[in-house]
Amino acid sequence: MHGLFTIEGFGRHVPDRVLTNAELETMVDTSDDWITSRTGIKERRIVAPGETSSDLAAKAASNALLSAGREAADLSHIFYATFTPDAFCPPASCILQEKLGIRGRACVDMNAACSGFLYAIEAARGTLALRPGSTVLVTAAEVTTSRTNWADRATCVLFGDGAGAIVVSDREPKPGQAVIEDVVLKADGSLWPLLTVKGGGSGWPMKLGDTIKDEFFIEMNGPEVYKNAVRSMGSVCEEIVEKNGLVMDDIDLFIPHQANLRIIEAVGKRLKFSGNRVMVTVDRYGNTSAASVAIALADAVAEGRVKPGARVLLTVFGGGFTWGAALLKFV
């Protein structure tokens, strides 16, 4: 064993249906100009009726397995980051396992809101340290539109649906694969009221016949989320880079959480990343929560944005608040 773990393959899937800003103009009192200038989002993907989080995850997972040259049968664990599972029970990871045509593997859903992908990667690293020879599917898949209040213009323009996946193992990395050099995770539970999806949880139970209230959907204090996102992603990136004896100039590609172009630019400015060193997908997918960095990573690989030897810095931020960063080195 080489001491570091390998991402063998990358995949993603977004639904076919495109929801443009022009279409949103017909749904709520908003404009393409407002959405573009405040968020950088031009369009987002939304699921077809009946299409679920695990449907998206299954396609992303198949793409990741294909890219790794692996079969679903090779997997020992499925770690699935989401705040929009198909159901509260069973875990979406179990439904995904069935869709992948395998049985008997360990499956768990993880909810760290938009930061879930990096939390699931860290869980994969822990599993591999404890159980050498494991092969872990880490996926992040969201149908954010299942918790979008289409009457609330302040939130409904921001989100989209999609899934990303990676295959993580302790095999020696091959060309095109990446080593996970480090992960740093953080949370501050005192700030939880600033970004919530409460309705249906045990703190906000529903009983038969209740009408759905606003609290069933995503609610947030936009300016506070914005400030904390910039501050937290900036500081955790500085921490992980310093901890690994690097400087920002050593980073070839920066892949931040894709919530909002202004947040991405503000973090980029603090860390001195700009231009083609920053991966941006928020314009075409909106904020896909936990899936956002997973999708952006797969797109970066597919678009040839990471060359052999490239070092990539990922960072995430979400409800909780939760946040984190990861360093990858491509082979």
From 21, 63, 111, 287, active-site residue:
287
Among 329, 288, 324, smallest CA distance to 306 is for 329
Residues engaged in binding ligand ACO (CB under 6 A): 30, 34-35, 38-39, 114, 153-154, 157-158, 195, 220, 222-223, 225-226, 229, 259-260, 287, 317-318
For residue 331, CA distances in Å to 21, 97, 121 come to 39, 30, 19
Provide the minimum distance between the beta carbon of 254 and ligand ACO in the complex, in angstroms, as a whole number.
17
Asked whether the beta carbons of 331 and 176 are under 8 A apart, the reply is yes
d(CA 155, CA 43): 14
Show contacts of 192-200: CB within 8 Å, 24+ apart: 192/319, 192/320, 192/321, 194/220, 194/221, 194/224, 194/225, 194/228, 194/321, 195/113, 195/219, 195/220, 195/221, 195/225, 195/318, 195/319, 195/320, 195/321, 196/220, 196/319, 197/83, 197/147, 197/319, 200/88
Provide the minimum distance between the beta carbon of 248 and ligand ACO in the complex, in angstroms, as a whole number.
22
CB-closest chain residue to ligand ACO: 222
d(CA 231, CA 240): 15
d(CA 293, CA 165): 10
Name which of 153 and 171 has its Cβ closer to ligand ACO.
Answer: 153
Name which of 68 and 225 has its Cβ closer to ligand ACO.
Answer: 225
From 107, 111, 237, 257, active-site residue:
257
CA dihedral 226, 270, 326, 14 (to 10 degrees): 50
Provide the minimum distance between the beta carbon of 127 and ligand ACO in the complex, in angstroms, as a whole number.
27
Asked whether the beta carbons of 56 and 163 are under 8 A apart, the reply is yes
Provide the minimum distance between the beta carbon of 291 and ligand ACO in the complex, in angstroms, as a whole number.
11
2 is annotated as an active-site residue: no
156 is annotated as an active-site residue: no
Name which of 158 and 267 has its Cβ closer to ligand ACO.
Answer: 158
Angle between helices 261-271 and 222-243 (to 10 degrees): 30
Name which of 169 and 322 has its Cβ closer to ligand ACO.
Answer: 322
Provide the minimum distance between the beta carbon of 89 and ligand ACO in the complex, in angstroms, as a whole number.
25
Provide the minimum distance between the beta carbon of 34 and ligand ACO in the complex, in angstroms, as a whole number.
4
What are the strands, taking DSSP E only, across 147-252? Answer: 161-169, 178-187, 195-196, 219-220
Name which of 100 and 220 has its Cβ closer to ligand ACO.
Answer: 220
77 is annotated as an active-site residue: no
From 13, 77, 94, 114, active-site residue:
114
Name which of 53 and 134 has its Cβ closer to ligand ACO.
Answer: 53
Q: What residues are labeled active site?
A: 114, 257, 287
